């Protein structure tokens, strides 16, 4: 919200709803306190019965916000995720491709999208992926911290997506609002990478050496159910803006060296 206000977007035009990984993790922590469960197991789609209750409440909350925005004439911006797809497509996902979420997290985000679209009013749903930001935990900061600690790194090399810096996401979203874009859009930095390729690039930019080895999803055995290939097609967004979105290696370097990403 602060970045959008810095760009001169009037606050009365925007009701910004952003559920980040950090916020989702905080929600899971609260659920864990209630049921005494395993946070790692909950995160990424194995909420079981508790997760389905969270899903329904999430969708209802987004619906209430959508209705409130419509009542006051505000423009609702809802941030969603590549997790609404199953990762089986051989081409980047377009906005008109059918969502097939694998996890409760993905299903909750899709339910939010549907609540926004069904409430009426002026809205924009922005799907993004593999976010990196200056605050909160994210994949790159975790990799660098473990490398500095001398830990061996085993990183999945058979899942592919679109790494995206949060500042680029915020700036592009502000640009879309400024030109009056509505409906469903995809925003991600250009290009694709696996988690292993992203980790290797981050280590190179940070000039760190580490014992980095690629592994398969089966070898990693993560509790999270993640799409194998969730690359987002940003062609429609680039056409709307009349410019290309920054490639992820450029955004990653700017992010790690204190640049504009």
Q: Which residues are catalytic?
A: 105
Pairing status of strand 75-81 against strand 14-17: parallel
The sign of the torsion formed by the CA atoms of 89, 164, 160, 138 equals: negative
| Burial letters 95-127, b for 16+ CB under 10 A, else e | beeebebbbbbbbbbbbbbebbeebebebbbbb
Q: How many helices (H) and strands (E) does the chain have?
A: 11, 10
Nearest to 168 by CA among 65, 229, 244, 102: 244
Rg of the chain, C-alpha, whole Å: 18
């Amino acid at each position: 919200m602060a970045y959008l206000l810095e760009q001169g977007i009037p606050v009365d035009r925007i009701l910004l709803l952003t559920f980040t990984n950090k916020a989702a993790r905080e929600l899971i922590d609260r659920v864990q306190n209630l049921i005494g469960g395993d946070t790692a197991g909950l995160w990424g789609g194995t909420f079981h019965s508790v997760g389905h209750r969270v899903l329904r409440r999430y969708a209802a909350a987004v619906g209430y916000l959508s209705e409130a925005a419509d009542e006051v004439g505000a423009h609702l911006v809802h941030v969603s995720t590549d997790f609404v797809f199953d990762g089986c497509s051989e081409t980047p996902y377009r906005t008109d491709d059918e969502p097939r979420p694998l996890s409760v997290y993905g299903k909750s985000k899709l339910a939010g999208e549907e609540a926004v679209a069904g409430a009426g009013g002026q809205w924009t749903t922005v799907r993004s992926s593999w976010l990196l930001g200056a605050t909160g935990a994210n994949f790159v900061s975790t990799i660098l911290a473990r490398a500095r600690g001398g830990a061996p790194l085993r990183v999945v090399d058979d899942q592919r997506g679109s790494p995206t810096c949060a500042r680029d996401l915020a700036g592009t979203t502000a640009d879309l609002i400024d030109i009056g874009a509505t409906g469903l859009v995809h925003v991600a930095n250009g290009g694709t990478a696996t988690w292993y390729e992203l980790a290797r690039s981050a280590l190179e930019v940070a000039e760190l050496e580490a014992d980095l080895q690629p592994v398969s999803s089966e070898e990693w055995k993560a509790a999270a159910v993640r799409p194998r290939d969730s690359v987002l097609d940003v062609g429609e967004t680039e056409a709307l803006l009349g410019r290309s979105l920054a490639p992820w290696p450029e955004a990653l370097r700017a992010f790690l060296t204190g640049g504009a990403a």
